[in-house]
Amino acid sequence: MRAAGGVVISAAGVRRSFGGVEVLRGVDLAVSPGEFVTLSGPSGSGKTALLAILCGFDVPDAGSVRPGPVAWSACAVLPQSLGLATELTLEENVALPLRLRGLPTDPVAGVLAELGIADLGSRYPAQVSFGQQQRAALARAVVARPSALLADEPTAHLDAVSADAAIALLRGVADDGAAVLVATHHDAVHAAADRVLELADGRIGTGLRRTTT
Ligand X SMILES: Nc1ncnc2c1ncn2[C@@H]1O[C@H](COP(=O)(O)OP(=O)(O)OP(=O)(O)O)[C@@H](O)[C@H]1O
Where on the chain is the footprint of Mg ion (CB under 5 A)?
47-48, 80
Q: Contact with ligand X (CB under 6 A): which of 49, 144, 165, 180?
A: 49
Q: Which is nearer to ligand X, 19 or 104 (CB)?
A: 19
Q: Which is nearer to Mg ion, 47 or 145 (CB)?
A: 47
Q: Which is nearer to Mg ion, 120 or 149 (CB)?
A: 149
Q: Which is nearer to Mg ion, 40 or 93 (CB)?
A: 40
Binding mask 3-42 for ligand X (x = CB under 6 A): ---------------xx---x-----------------x-
Shortest Å distance, C-beta 113 to ligand X: 29
Neighbour-count burial of 97, counting CB atoms closer than 10 A to its CB (0-12 exposed, 13-18 middle, 19+ buried): buried
Which amino acid is it at 128?
V
Neighbour-count burial of 25, counting CB atoms closer than 10 A to its CB (0-12 exposed, 13-18 middle, 19+ buried): middle
43 binds ligand X (CB under 6 A): yes
Phi-psi map region of 137: left, alpha, beta (phi>0 left; psi -120 to 50 alpha) = alpha
45 binds ligand X (CB under 6 A): yes
CA distances from 72 to 113, 122, 144, 151, 192 (A): 22, 23, 8, 13, 25
C-alpha 153: how far from chain center: 8
Q: Which is nearer to ligand X, 18 or 127 (CB)?
A: 18
Binding segment (CB under 6 A) for ligand X, from list 1-9, 45-53, 92-100, 161-169: 45-53
Shortest Å distance, C-beta 136 to ligand X: 20
Shortest Å distance, C-beta 26 to ligand X: 15
Q: What is the Cα gyration radius of the chain?
A: 16
Distance from C-alpha of 74 to C-alpha of 43, rounded to nearest angstrom: 28
Q: Contact with ligand X (CB under 6 A): which of 11, 27, 35, 47?
A: 47
Q: Which residues bind ligand X (CB under 6 A)?
A: 18-19, 23, 41, 43-49, 80
